[in-house]
Structure 1
Amino acid sequence: MGFYSNFSEKDLIESYTNQIDYQGKADKEIIAEILSRGSLEKFQAKINIQKSILNEQNRVIREIHGYYMNKLSKQECLQLIHSDLLTDKTINFLVETKYSQIHKNVENLKVDSETVIKAILGTFVSSAVSSVIIFILLYNFNFLIAFNLFLLIPVYVINYWIIRLFTGKTRVNLAVFIASFAATVLNCIYFFLIVA
């Protein structure tokens, strides 16, 4: 009973392709397991079919992205995409999934007046909240004063999460990134005003 005997076909394919990709050849033990399950040619044919399907899915995803950027609807996209390898169900799933992902990413990157206002409000609220948290920690655990510069990291994280809560957008949004940085600068100002 060999090492690969308990591998599922998917795991066996993954191990085999990794060995081919990184070592240039498969070891004898995995070849013996493949041969015990059938022929090497059939196994390699399965791998080639999987690669073809993956390449086709990637091609369809690129098309979906292009159609979204050209402001075509999901229905128009579905009418334009055709594939000999993928089923209609798979194409529908890809269109639904990718359209929502792309839309979410585009909305997340958008900096509009509402985002800016929420980010500014979040800056002041988050800097106040994180300052209170840090001052309570410093008061209760005096030894943390020695790490005052390193405390900027958790302060920045607290600020970011509060601003993200206010705006509903992540740090890849420029307004959220700048607001998080500004809130951390405010924390430093508060710290120096209180300590000085």
Structure 2
Amino acid sequence: MSFYGKFSEKDLIESYTNQIDYQGKPDKEIVEEILKRGTLEDFQAKIKAKNLFLAEQNRMIREIHSHYMNKLSKQDCLSLISSDLLPDKTIQFLVETKYNQIHQNVENLKVDSKTLINTVIGTVIASIISSIVIFVSLYNFIFLMVFNFFLLIPVYIINYWMIRLITGKTRENPAVFIGSFIATVLNCIYFFVLYQTIS
């Protein structure tokens, strides 16, 4: 059995396409496997159909994005989009899925007063909690003092997840990103003050 003998049709198409893209021509072995399953013309026709399907899907996604940004409802969006290639069920699924994804991304990036207030609250709470976690860890495991600078990495991660939990937004949101950084700076200040107090 050849190397490509166990490949599914999808894997075979992907390998063939990659070889054309990067080598300019397919390997002899992959062509032999394709010919065992049918003709090269039929195989290439399947690739063309797949590319047309993907191009149509991408066109529709751009349309959905445009309609969303023009503040059209999901139903309006669905009524305006049509396709000669895709069945109605696929169009409906695509509109539902992509409309929701775009909405989530836009909402995630939004910096409004609620986000700012929650970020400030989250920054203070996160810096205090992460500092307590690190202080307790250092107290119980003195050997960690050697890695004190590298402890900023887990501190930053704790801060980020706390702020994310409070704001409901990810680090793609500028306020959350800045809040996580400020919380980590506050950790450094707490460490410095504690060190001065102990000294």
Q: TM-score range by the shorter chain?
A: over 0.9
Percent identical? 71
Q: How does 1:78-97 map to 2 (within 5 A)?
A: 78-97=78-97
Matching residue's letter, 1:67 = H
Deviation of 1:195 after TM superposition, in Å, equals 0.7
What are the ranges of 5 or more consecutive residues in structure 1 without an aligned counterpart?
Answer: none
Q: RMSD of aligned C-alpha atoms? A: 0.9
Amino acid at match of 2:166: F
Question: Cα offset for 1:146?
Answer: 2.0
Question: Which deviations, in whole Å up to 9, do the C-alpha atoms of 1:121-165 show, x marking residues without a partner?
Answer: 111111111001111111122222222111111101100000000
**Residue 187 of structure 2: aligned partner:** 187
The corresponding residue for 1:75 is: 75
Q: In the comparison of the two structures, how many residue pairs are matched?
A: 196
1:152 maps to amino acid = L
Poorly superposed stretches of 4+, deviation over 4 Å: none
Give the equivalent residue in structure 1 for 2:53: 53
Partner of 1:37: 37
SS in structure 1 at match of 2:4: helix
Task: Give the alignment's TM-score, normalised by structure 2.
Answer: 0.96
CA distance in 2, matches of 1:4, 1:185: 54
Structure 1 SS opposite 2:150? coil
Task: Give, in whole Å, the separation in 2 of the partners of 1:83 and 1:89.
Answer: 11
SS in 1 for 2:169: coil
- Separation in structure 1 between the aligned mates of residue 157 and residue 178 of structure 2, nearest angstrom: 13
Q: Which amino acid aligns with 2:27?
A: D
Is 2:133 aligned against 1:122? no
Structure 1 partner of 2:155: 155
What is the distance in 2 between the residues matched to 1:33 and 1:44?
14
For residues 112 and 25 of structure 1, the distance between their equivalents in structure 2, rounded to whole angstroms, comes to 53
* Letter aligned with residue 18 of structure 2: N
